[in-house]
Amino acid sequence: MSIKVLAVIGTRPEAVKMAPVVLALRARDEFEVKVALTAQHREMLDQVMRQFGLTADVDLDIMRPRQSLAQITTRALEGLQQAYEEIEPDIVLAQGDTTTVFAAALAAYYARIPFGHVEAGLRTGNKYSPYPEEMNRRLAGALADLHFAPTEAARDNLLAENAPAERIYVTGNTVIDALLWAAEHSAPAPEYAWADELSGPLILVTAHRRENWGEPLRQACLGMRDLLERAPDATLVYAVHRNPVVRETAEAILGNHPRVRLIEPPDYFDFVQLMKRARLILTDSGGIQEEAPSLGVPVLVLRDTTERPEAIAAGVAKLIGPDRSRIAEEGARLLLDPEAHAAMARAANPYGDGQAAGRIAGILAK
């Protein structure tokens, strides 16, 4: 009799990190694996599903323009409750810290179905930073039956919250599984051929966190303009999130600059190739803080806190916030000072060896 596993996915980063888990489980005879999408972010999610050859057994399609957190939560909770009743899984898995993950854990608790949290134990200690992700993961952790922690530090966070030690497994982060596979199996897309023809350095940007909406994002974009003044041969490529709140700010401040390219969010494989080409990455994303160190690209984190302190401690990422002056100063230092760049460009990754998904499958098989 097989173990019926339901993997719940809501966004592109979740799809990237859950795809290796789904594939690892499907490679074993013990499991019957189904995938449920909330589609909290539709277009970016579908790209990754296609690239990893995954299809949805359930698609709730909850995405709406400018939807509130309460609307996301209630739509996901109600839809997942029905999915659990129809599929009757033995265990539900979800990854990370989105509203989808919290709803998946809560719906599993209501249905008395065990819940496994992939990438468990990340914490900043500030419930409003990142918002709402910090509380999403804390609440999911409180409801989880199995915790798949990416690092020892994440395990320590869970132990401090009285999670049972025998329910915590340090596996590494599945994003490294996905990254290494994509780096090996993908090639630069023709539409980004211009990136290889640039004579100067490429600065790659992603910035979309909810707590940075408004004035913080405006200051960050102004800092990017200032950075380009200090590095006159650099080109800044901003993969602009489809949320109109983010897009309006980016276009207003950066849209008319001759050395800025505002691009649609690339599919995951193409984004990996752009990261490999970049000299510097500016981001408020969580996953990129894990991915870029494997590629030897320095990262400036446009947040005031991070739940991924291992990269900061390793010296491959630096926390600077959405601060206009620090973006210009730190960015220029890394672009113009070869020694400063080399000090951060060590390809040392504290997040794993690319075998995390196989470890998770083995743990579940036991």
List the catalytic residues. Answer: 97, 119, 133, 208, 210, 241
44 close to 242: Cβ distance less than 8 angstroms: yes
Whole-angstrom distance, CA of residue 290 vs CA of residue 95:
15
Whole-angstrom distance, CA of residue 128 vs CA of residue 16:
25
350 close to 314: Cβ distance less than 8 angstroms: yes
Which tokens belong to 232?
């006159």
CA distances from 111 to 71, 299, 306 (A): 21, 41, 33
Pairing of the two strands 58-59 and 91-95: unpaired
Instruction: Give long-range contacts, CB 8 A cutoff, 24+ apart: 125-128.
Output: 125/305, 126/305, 128/211
Give the sign of the dihedral formed by CA 177, CA 89, CA 9, CA 42: positive
Whole-angstrom distance, CA of residue 52 vs CA of residue 45:
11
